[in-house]
Amino acid sequence: MDKKFCIISLAIPLFVGLFLVLILYFYDPFLLYHKPYFREETYSDDIRMQAKGIIKHYNFDSYILGTSMLANTSAKEAKEKLGGEWVNLSLAGSSLAERALVLNYALRKKPIKSVILSLDAIVGISESGSYFAFLYDNNELNDLKIYFNGKFIKCALSLSNSGGCKMTIKDTEELASFRNDEQVNKRLGGIQNWFVDYKNVAQLLDLADVIRVNDFAKLQKVNVRDISNDKKYLDKFLLTFVRDYPQTNFYFIVPPYSRLNYNVYRLGKKPMTNSEYFYTWVAVLTWLIGELEAYPNTKIYGFDTLDYADNIANYSDLVHYNIDMNSMQLDAIRDNTHRLTSENIEEYLKIMKQKIQEYDVEPLVKIAKEALGEE
């Protein structure tokens, strides 16, 4: 009797565990193992989790892999202007290390024609990304552990694709995009719109504090800290792919932040002043451009000398621009314009700095204070 009881006691949890594994494998909302069975193909807006399934099961040969600065770049527009089969897998708020996880997996999985990456102002080292890194390693079995929580088990058992179980995106064109986000779009058109409904946006909360105390400053030449760690970081998470995949075209976009952004002395708890931030980025960017010129499969593009960044109406906050800039970036790749090279980077940065220095923040501060009810 005791022996039979022991066998049953062991068999039941094993059976339950096996059943859960099978049902979760069958359910597989992130498409880690297969496309959907018996339901429409829908996707999660959590690109960090969803990207692997898209890369694995769909026939894209070109990738847009930026931060939120490239999230609104249209894959369909990229196909029309550049050729190839594009998908946008940009990771909002991501470090270069995080995007390297996804890029490395994509390059290992199948031949890639082209990749567009954003070169956000890289002045800090972050190798975060461990919470989803296991999805992009060489072990397919451990991917399943992402589903071992109450939400996914409940959804799998009910085979539901509605309510809290629903994957909300129906078209791969919309995977990363926030172009239809009403709250973001309402903030375009002028700084007064930023502060209509801003208290759930951390950057705008910090900016409101800056505006209240008028904490703005022109750029001042500073001694740039040692950037050797930045170089190692870029070599590990960017240049290594350029070297190892010479048949893949890499297009790097330097996003044009608003002029106001560079006039804020210190935003929130950022460790750097605007001058330290700017001149460190100048040093890193200048070095990187020199390094990239050794590789014919790379091109880098910048837009900070245009008048676009002078117009605050083009921005929904200090850094996020309207979708017309995403189109301009694709045009530049197609037309081979707005290139940054060792020959023109000094003049480019000179013009950029001049535009920042000459930018008059006072009218914007006045409008913003009125919107905040400070005047």
Lookup: tokens for 221: 């030449």
Angle at CA of residue 358, ends 361 and 271, nearest 5°: 65
Confidence of residue 199 (pLDDT cuts 50, 70, 90): confident
Q: Is 41 within a domain?
A: no
**Would you state the pLDDT for residue 286?**
97
What whole-number distance in Å separates Cα of residue 231 and Cα of residue 227?
6
Per-residue pLDDT tens over the stretch 31-48 = 999 898 877 888 998 999
Range of the domain at 318: 181-372
Q: Answer for the pair 248, 86: CB distance below 8 angstroms, yes or no.
A: no
What whole-number distance in Å separates Cα of residue 175 and Cα of residue 79?
16
> In this model, does residue 162 exceed pLDDT 70?
no
Q: Is 2 within a domain?
A: no
Q: Is 192 within a domain?
A: yes
Q: 331 CB contacts (<8 Å, ≥6 apart)?
A: 81, 337
Identity of the residue numbered 164: G
> In this model, does residue 126 exceed pLDDT 70?
no
**Would you state the pLDDT for residue 314?**
99
What whole-number distance in Å separates Cα of residue 256 and Cα of residue 279?
16
- For 26-30, what is the mean pLDDT? 86
Lookup: tokens for 224: 């740039």
Q: Answer for the pair 32, 9: CB distance below 8 angstroms, yes or no.
A: no
Q: Is 256 within a domain?
A: yes
Q: What does the mean pLDDT of the chain come to?
A: 90
Confidence of residue 145 (pLDDT cuts 50, 70, 90): confident
* Number of domains the chain is built from: 1
Per-residue pLDDT tens over the stretch 335-355 = 999 999 999 999 999 999 999
Q: Is 159 within a domain?
A: no
Q: Which of 108-117, 163-172, 201-210 has the lowest mean pLDDT?
A: 163-172
Confidence of residue 302 (pLDDT cuts 50, 70, 90): very high
Q: Is 305 within a domain?
A: yes
- For 108-132, what is the mean pLDDT? 83
Per-residue pLDDT tens over the stretch 64-83 = 999 999 999 999 999 999 99
Q: Which of 10-14, 208-212, 263-267 has the lowest mean pLDDT?
A: 10-14
